[in-house]
Amino acid sequence: MWDKAVLIIVIAVLAYFLKNYSKVFNWITFNLYFSIFYISNTLIMIIWPFPILNGRTVKNAKLWARILKHATKLYGIQWELRNGEVLAKDRGAVIVANHQSTLDVTGMYHIWETADKVTAIVKKELFYVWPMGLAAYLGGAVFIDRKNPKNAYAQLKVTADVMTKEKTKIWVFPEGTRNFDYTKFLPFKKGAFTMAVAAQTPIIPLVFSPYYFIDRKNYTISKARVIVKCLDEVPTTGLTMEDVPELIERVRNMMLAAYKELSDEVLPTLKSKSAD
């Protein structure tokens, strides 16, 4: 009798250990994937000499994107861009995209070639976080002092000049932070739309299909296909700051509708793979 009791206890302990060991292993692997992503980005920006020789220009970011886009092969993720001809037009614009993960940046890398001249709005403090700050500067990023709202007009003028005079597209995640709830969008902040109206440049809505392949609860990432759908541009010519709230709602609704369509397309595929 005692031997059976001991055997049951041993089996229970082993089962508990294996279950938790598996979760710990998944946690380590999950975080390692993202660590490699950050490290590879940083190393490439340090050792690749041409951006420094080029000086400050958005072309540097395009050079980095050509190399760093291959990092997603580690995750087994394939990217598919749809309606990319809207991005390819040679004119300034504000790109607004939904934000689900750090991997969105890799998605940006995959479409950079099509969009050509692209930069981002970053907070001024990032410049002092080297080497990322130096890379952002050399890549033509627009540094904004978010703590100084009194200087908002001057900041808007800077971004307007970048878009109109240099024909550069400025990428913004209007949700303001990563959204891990793949069933909906967070409320959109008005900054991107204010910039577009101030510069009278179009808005290009960009929608990433849902990242159902990232399981944060169990710390796993599955192989998957991500569809990046570029919607038709939304003109802002003739609009004023009073029109910004309606503009935000209109663009957000467009993106939500596209997101639902992509969900209906991608989710059944992921479920069939998990069933296999």
Phi, psi at 145, each rounded to 5°: -90, 95
pLDDT at 276: 44
Cβ neighbours, 10 Å, residue 168: 22
pLDDT at 216: 77
CB of 196 within 8 A of CB of 143? no
Picking from 271, 265, 273, 268, the residue whose alpha carbon sits closest to that of residue 82 is 265
Query: What secondary structure does DSSP assign to 80-112, as a single string?
Result: EEESTHHHHSSS-EEEEE---STHHHHHHHHHH
Can you tell me the distance from the alpha carbon of 99 to that of 88, in angstroms, rounded to the nearest whole number?
22
Quote the domain boundaries for residue 251: 2-275
User: 1-21 as b/e, with b when 16 or more CB fall inside 10 Å?
Assistant: eeeeeeeeeeeeeeeeeeeee
- According to DSSP, the β-strands at 93-97 and 203-208 are parallel
CATH number for the domain including 230?
Answer: 3.40.1130
Burial class (CB in 10 A: 0-12, 13-18, 19+), 26: middle
**What is this structure's pTM?**
0.81
Total domains present in the chain: 1
pLDDT at 275: 45
pLDDT at 233: 96
Instruction: Give me 179's structure tokens.
Output: 């959204």
Taking CA atoms, 157 is separated from 160, 196, 205, in Å, by 5, 11, 22
- SS3 state at 15: helix
CA contacts within 13 A on the Cβ side of 204: 26
pLDDT at 64: 76
- According to DSSP, the β-strands at 118-123 and 214-215 are unpaired
From first to last of its 276 residues, the chain has per-residue pLDDT tens of 454 444 445 445 455 545 555 666 676 676 777 776 666 666 665 555 556 666 777 777 787 787 778 777 777 888 999 999 999 998 999 999 999 988 888 888 888 888 888 888 777 787 777 767 777 777 788 887 777 766 666 777 777 888 888 888 999 999 988 888 888 899 999 989 998 998 999 999 999 999 888 877 777 777 888 999 999 999 999 999 999 999 999 999 999 999 999 999 887 655 544 444
DSSP state of 114: H
